[in-house]
Amino acid sequence: MPLGAQASCDQRAQTQAELTRCARESAASAQSRLTELLGELRTALEPEHFKALEQVQTTWLTFARNHCRWNGGFYEGGSLQPMVLADCMAMLTEQRIVELKKYRCGKPSPPGDC
């Protein structure tokens, strides 16, 4: 690690509980950024497109939760399960952010084109 650089939460964590806390913080941070992006899209998109996106987001969230529950089910009853669930939601949310950023111009566009 470069001099003066701070270790990330999961690099500093020394227990499973700390790793789980880090994963939950990561998931919460990703969710916060997704919520912020959806706010931007509310003004960037035509009202009918945003209304459709809200419906898609509801479906996406159901998928993400179900997928992560399925994925976490492999660790049922173990101390890893909460971390796996949170990591999964963080990963899927980050992917969703990347996908939705394309619509900041009000239509599908490469990043930086508007």
Tens digits of residue pLDDT in 16-27:
889 899 999 999
36 is a domain residue: yes
> Taking all residues of the chain, what is their mean pLDDT, rounded to a whole number?
90
Over 80: is that where the pLDDT of 15 sits? Answer: yes
Please give the residue range of the domain that contains residue 65.
Answer: 10-101
Angle at 92 between CA 87 and CA 97, to 5 degrees: 125
Residue-wise pLDDT for 40-63, tens only, equals 999 999 999 999 999 999 999 999
5 is a domain residue: no
pLDDT of residue 46: 95
82 is a domain residue: yes
Q: Please, where are the H alpha helices in the chain?
A: 9-12, 16-44, 47-72, 81-101
112 is a domain residue: no
110 is a domain residue: no
Residue 31's domain is classified under what CATH number? 1.20.1270.180
Over 50: is that where the pLDDT of 1 sits? Answer: no
111 is a domain residue: no
Overall domain count for the chain: 1
